[in-house]
Structure 1
Amino acid sequence: MSTAASTVRDWWPGDRAELESRLDALVRENRFTISVFFPLNGIVLLLASATVAAVPDWLAFTGTLILLGTVVMRSPLVAGLAPLVDRRAATGIGLLALYAYAIEYVGVHTGWPYGPFEYGVSLGPMVSGVPLGLPVFFLPLVANAYLLCLLLLGDRAERGPLRLAAVVALVLLLDVVLDPGAVALGFWNYEGVTTEGALAVLAGGGFYGVPLSNYAGWVLSATVAVVTLDLAFDRAALVRRLAECEFMLDDMVSFVILWGGVNALFGNLVPALVAAGIGVGLVRADRFDASLLRP
């Protein structure tokens, strides 16, 4: 057997448990790079793409780079959830991915339930107007919100209606941060809504260029997704995993840094403050520790 083949054989994990252990170690050893460097680098590249004409075409809003950066920032969540993905959870994730594609396809082609909108930037490969990597963008928002609510609610998370309502509310707050920043960057735009007048709802400006119908649509889509996720995973196992896996919510840290920073630099005060509030929630849940700030 050749040396190269032997090296590959020695490196390749022997079973799922070893693979999960290696993924845990990889994320744990690179927390700063994944959760701080990548979002900060993302702010620079995205703002340069949106505002600096001198950025070369191959670098400005490159869909592959956007998707790759997002996948890297999602890796702590993936590593954290991996040991808990059994057949039921895998089925739930698959259904959620199909649901994400279906509702986005309907939204792009009919304007329901979010309001008429179109993508201004290709977020990776696009199929029928929908990003192929859509589940990578959407599903982690729901999962992160669910995990953070489990930590913040504590024993109160046992009360189903309270748990589900809290998660849906947090997903909505995440979109209050995400959508204005994405519109400011030109990721997508809504028909008949401008970004002039940050809070000019009555003047037709929506909420930082986002129509209120978008948030009504997110209540619907988030409710379906949260209920599905709640049924798919063993909640007690999630709580145990959260207790032993300190990096499991690092993707939420990346979100706060990236989209909080984008909104702040575009002068979107309310979304930036909401992002800061989510950051406070991470601190209260002991999920934003000093080790994240040390390379």
Structure 2
Amino acid sequence: MPVIQTEELTKQFPSTTALDRLTIDVEPGVVGLVGANGAGKSTLIKILLGLSSATSGRASVFGLDVTKDGPRIRERVGYMPEHDCLPADVSATEFVVHMARMSGLPANAARERTADTLRHVGLYEERYRPIGGYSTGMKQRVKLAQALVHDPEIVMLDEPTNGLDPGGRDEMLLLIRRIWADFGITALVTSHMLGELERIADHVVIIDGGTLLQSSSTSEFTRTSQFLVVEVSGEAEAVAATLSSAGRTVKRDGTQLVLSLDDDETYDAVRDAVAAQGVGLIRMEQRRHHIAELFGAERADG
């Protein structure tokens, strides 16, 4: 059963339409909500949390109507906002305990859950330091911890890798994947960085200008194409020339060769060309589409 459903959901502001008849179903797992800045991602989350009202259409979380059951929905949801909203003069422990108490946990349970959650996000050793002295990555982890501390059934994470360097993004993405893999908590993750969600999401929803472009499993988005990628240990140009002389169309993609996979004999042609040049075959596999490529194609078609 979908944990989130929308039907013809529309949100209009005086100068723009943030959501335009958006209809989606979100199943349990890690779900990526992809779109450029201003695509309507944050607006959708606020409507789902009951913090903003839609102009028309319907939306539900766990089968609960967002217009009538906002408090009941928020009891079961963790929310990580996009922007920095943390108090600088309190420690991570104080802040997360406070958020746990706000979610209804008794004092002792709130302290225990806070310690466990800060350990999970990698802040246990730093838990008593004032948040104002934290790095951007540590602040993002505090926001993640407060979203998780009350053991929600789903977390809505708005641009959780914002401001992070590549290493920090990788660590955050791993934490998000573990939320589902280790604890069975569904994660709805927004991002404008398409490649990130391709790595961790089970399902991807792409919106642009508040309109649904595509909604599908990640495996369907990154489906295998009819091109063969070949990587050799040296003399790639010579291998390409040999394949061309055998009637194969070859393109260079950096250090790789990309061939049209016309038939099974393409594999034999690569084998023969590599052997003829006396180089090593490092990798040979069908190329996969990337979400970024498909997103660009959708926008071009539109």
Q: Which TM-score applies when normalising by structure 1?
A: 0.29
Larger radius of gyration: 2
**Bigger relative contact order, structure 1 or 2, given CA contacts below 8 A and separation 6+?**
1
Structure with the bigger percentage of helix: 1
